[in-house]
Amino acid sequence: NAGVTQTPKFQVLKTGQSMTLQCAQDMNHEYMSWYRQDPGMGLRLIHYSVGAGITDQGEVPNGYNVSRSTTEDFPLRLLSAAPSQTSVYFCASTPGGSYEQYFGPGTRLTVT
Amino acid sequence: EDQVTQSPEALRLQEGESSSLNCSYTVSGLRGLFWYRQDPGKGPEFLFTLYSAGEEKEKERLKATLTKKESFLHITAPKPEDSATYLCAVRRNTDKLIFGTGTRLQVFP
């Protein structure tokens, strides 16, 4: 099993550009989520999904969109990048009935 | 307001020098407390889940304990490979976790 994979590992965007961060898991986990991690702040939940076709907002959803068309994939879209979105983004998956989250390696995003 | 606070922010230990990391929380309806380890440039790695006061979990040199207001991660005779940031998170009576900012541990030979 590859576990949770994320692409790209690094990305630089200009203000106003859009992009999609990819996340995939091969463990057949129902629950997937996106976090951002900033210096001096804990991991903050952006969006999450409890299964294919079902998504909901987390703590900091503004400026981001998600969809979940399959169990395996949970992409995160930045609609119009802003410098405030410079961060490290982590995707995580969780098997149903558990809250033990399995994290991907992260994507480091810089918006200039 | 629900809050998770970890202390200290950073801790430097000599190899073999035991110590404890603290995670205090004010959360209504606690449904679990989680410890993760994060190495530089990597995603957090799950260590323990604790559900009720008095519960303890152990893994190698690490032992996690839980009271009604805080959790401790005890590190016994640490080695340099234990150097990492240790994150604490709590689950409320929802599906969401609240993370602390972590304790950065450095163990020197």
Contact state of A99 with B98 under an 8 Å Cβ cutoff: no
Q: What's the average model confidence in pLDDT over A90-107? A: 91
Q: What is the spatial distance between Cα B87 and Cα A37, in angstroms, rounded to a whole number? A: 12
Residue range of the domain that includes B72: 3-108
pLDDT tens-digit series, residues A44-69: 999 999 999 999 999 999 999 999 99
Average pLDDT value over all residues in chain A: 94
Chain B residues in contact with A101 by the CB 8 A cut-off are: 34, 44, 46, 97
CA atoms within 13 A on the CB side of B14: 1
Mean pLDDT per 10-residue section of chain B, whose length is 109 residues: 92 98 90 95 95 95 96 98 97 81 97
Q: What is the β-pairing status of strands A107-111 and A10-13?
A: parallel
Task: Check pLDDT > 80 for residue A97.
Answer: no
Chain A residues in contact with B45 by the CB 8 A cut-off are: 103
Chain A residues in contact with B98 by the CB 8 A cut-off are: 42
Give the percent of chain A with pLDDT over 90: 88
Q: How many CB atoms lie within 10 A of CB A42?
A: 21
Q: The CATH number of the domain where B82 resides is what?
A: 2.60.40.10
State the smallest CA–CA distance between residue B86 and chain A in angstroms: 11
Task: Check pLDDT > 70 for residue A72.
Answer: yes
Mutation test of the interface with chain A: which of B88, B99, B103, B104, choosing the one with the most A Cβ atoms within 10 A?
B99
Choose between A91 and A100: higher pLDDT.
A91
Among the listed residues B84, B101, B4, the one whose alpha carbon sits nearest the alpha carbon of residue B45: B84
pLDDT at residue number A49: 94
Contact call for residues B89 and B99 (beta carbons, < 8 A): yes
Task: Check pLDDT > 90 for residue A42.
Answer: no
Number of domains composing chain B = 1
Task: Check pLDDT > 70 for residue A87.
Answer: yes
